[in-house]
A and B are shown apart, each in its own frame.
Chain A
Amino acid sequence: DAGVIQSPRHEVTEMGQEVTLRCKPISGHNSLFWYRQTMMRGLELLIYFNNNVPIDDSGMPEDRFSAKMPNASFSTLKIQPSEPRDSAVYFCASRGAGQATNEKLFFGSGTQLSVL
C-alpha cells in the first residue's frame, strides 16, 4: 500500500494567493483528517470527514479555509486568500473502515506551506 499521499510536498506562495492542498487517503479507509502543525501550536485538527461527509470543522481557523471530499479517494484543503500566518505543515491522515472509531490514524508526509 502506498500510504496516504499528499501533494505538493512544498508550496511557496505570496500573500493573497489561493492555495490548494491535496490528499489521497489509503484505499478502503473511510475517515479523513486534515491537521496543521506549527511550533507554537503543535498538531491541530482542522476538519475531518467520515464517508466523504464533513463531521467536525470546528478547527478550521476562519472562512478563508475550506475543505472538500468529492469522493472516497480524494480531498482538498483550500486557503483563499492566503496569509503569512497560514505558513505551517499541513498533514492529511486517514483511518480504516474496519477499525473502531477511536483507533489509529495513518498520516501522509505533509505539505510544507510558506506564505510570503
Chain B
Amino acid sequence: GESVGLHLPTLSVQEGDNSIINCAYSNSASDYFIWYKQESGKGPQFIIDIRSNMDKRQGQRVTVLLNKTVKHLSLQIAATQPGDSAVYFCAENKPNSGYALNFGKGTSLLVTP
C-alpha cells in the first residue's frame, strides 16, 4: 500500500555530532514533504518542508534532502544539541484528499552528553 515509513525507530547521537533521520515514501504522486518535531506532551512542531521540484533545502542547523528516484527523504541536524531530543516525523501530502498530510510513525532522537 501507499505509505510513509521510517528506517530507524530510534537514534542515539552525542551532543555536537550531526544527526541524520531517514524516511521512505511510496507514493510517487506526492509533491510536498515536511518534517515535524514532537517533544513529550506537546503537539508536532514544524521544522522544514520541501517541494518535489527541489532536492535540497536548508534551514537553521537543519537540511532536508529529497531523492525522488528512490523515494527517500532525510533530515540532517547539524551540531545536535540536547534540546533536539524528540520524536521526528516525516509527512507527505495525501493524494486525493485535498492535501491533508500523511504522517510516518516517527523516529526517536536521543542526544547524549
Contacts and interface: CB of A to CB of B under 8 A. Distances in A.
A110 B43 contact: yes
Given A42-B104, A43-B89, A104 B43 contact: no
Contacts of B98: 48, 50, 55-56, 101
B76 interface: no
A55 to B, nearest CB: 5
Contact of A42 (B42, B43, B97, B106): B106
Contacts of A33: 100-101
Contact of B102 (A4, A45, A108): A45
Contacts of B106: 42
Interface residues of A, number: 23
A102 B36 CA distance: 15
Interface string B30-41: 011010100001
Given A42-B103, A48-B100, A101-B99, 11 more contacts: A4-B43, A42-B106, A43-B89, A45-B97, A48-B98, A55-B98, A56-B98, A104-B34, A104-B49, A106-B46, A109-B41
Interface of A: 4, 33, 35, 42-43, 45, 48, 50, 55-56, 58, 91, 93, 101-110
Interface of B: 31-32, 34, 36, 41-46, 49, 89, 93-94, 97-106
